[in-house]
Amino acid sequence: MANSYFISDAHLGMSDSTTEKLKEEKLLSFLSHVAKTGERLFIVGDLFDFWFEYRTVIPRGYTRILAALRNLNDSGKELHYIAGNHDFWMRDYFPEELGIPIHVDNLEYTINGKRFFIEHGDGIAKHDVGYRILKRIFRNRINIFLYSLLHPDIGIPLAKWVSSGSRQHTTKRGKTDDSDYIQRAQQKFEEGFDYVLFGHLHRPDLKKFGNKIYLNLGDWMKLFTYAVFDGDELRLEKWEEKI
């Protein structure tokens, strides 16, 4: 069977133009590889550093990435987007224009008899009480509607500033203890899942618990790591352009 791919945390738009061009080119080459060798792609949150959709306006830039995702869909590939902590303001652009369903909290999926539990991972750490409250505020439909009344030239830069603050808060925490993530994975193992995948921590990791696997995808900002499932084995890999 063809491969299933998993990526997270590209945070497109967060860095200087030189760094962003490198990320974009690497991501485009990866998506081309998915088109040649893959059956499905799971984007596990935070593809963009911020994303706010007005009814008729989206943030400018990265049209080649959006076109590549649409082309994957048109060629018969299956795509899924699991929302992250920089994806609070997604409406219907991805489903309607790109053909990619959005999963707000998590996704349970079965491939070749193996059960996957896929979640971005924000708010799992027990000490993130304040963030969990903020998450409810950001995802409240009334609040989103009120925010959308701002002109895009004000609303989009403000949303970008909020996303930057969220990222700086994560960075200030330093190296995050992943024990809460592993605990959540073990709970899912007890529910019958074979593989539990997260993003968010920006730190790639794969741990085996018998025949079960906990995997964190790392990021697509500096590490360019991803996961691939070939129908038998789930692997954590680093992207090197395939020739």
CATH of the domain at 71: 3.60.21.10
Structure tokens at 111: 């491939």
For position 130, what pLDDT does the model report? 56
Residue 243 is assigned to a structural domain of this protein: no
For position 169, what pLDDT does the model report? 52
Q: Which residues pair with 41 in a beta bridge?
A: 5, 79
Query: 228 near 3, Cβ under 8 Å?
Result: yes
pLDDT over threshold 60, residue 6: yes
Calculate mean pLDDT across residues 118-146: 71
**Residue given tokens 């200030």 in the structure block:** 172
Q: Show the domain range for 52.
A: 3-238
For position 59, what pLDDT does the model report? 73
Residues 4 and 231: their CA atoms lie apart, in Å, by 8
What backbone torsions phi and psi does residue 67 show, to the nearest 5 degrees? -65, -40
For position 137, what pLDDT does the model report? 61
Residue 159 is assigned to a structural domain of this protein: yes
Calculate mean pLDDT across residues 229-236: 97
Domain tally, the chain:
1
> Which of 23-32, 86-95, 213-222 is predicted with the least confidence, judged by mean pLDDT?
86-95
pLDDT over threshold 70, residue 8: yes
CA angle 21, 27, 33 (to 5 degrees): 140
What backbone torsions phi and psi does residue 173 show, to the nearest 5 degrees? -70, -15
> Which of 64-68, 176-180, 236-240 is predicted with the least confidence, judged by mean pLDDT?
176-180
Residue 200 is assigned to a structural domain of this protein: yes
Residue 204 is assigned to a structural domain of this protein: yes
Residue 134 is assigned to a structural domain of this protein: yes
For position 86, what pLDDT does the model report? 76
pLDDT over threshold 50, residue 188: yes
Residue 85 is assigned to a structural domain of this protein: yes
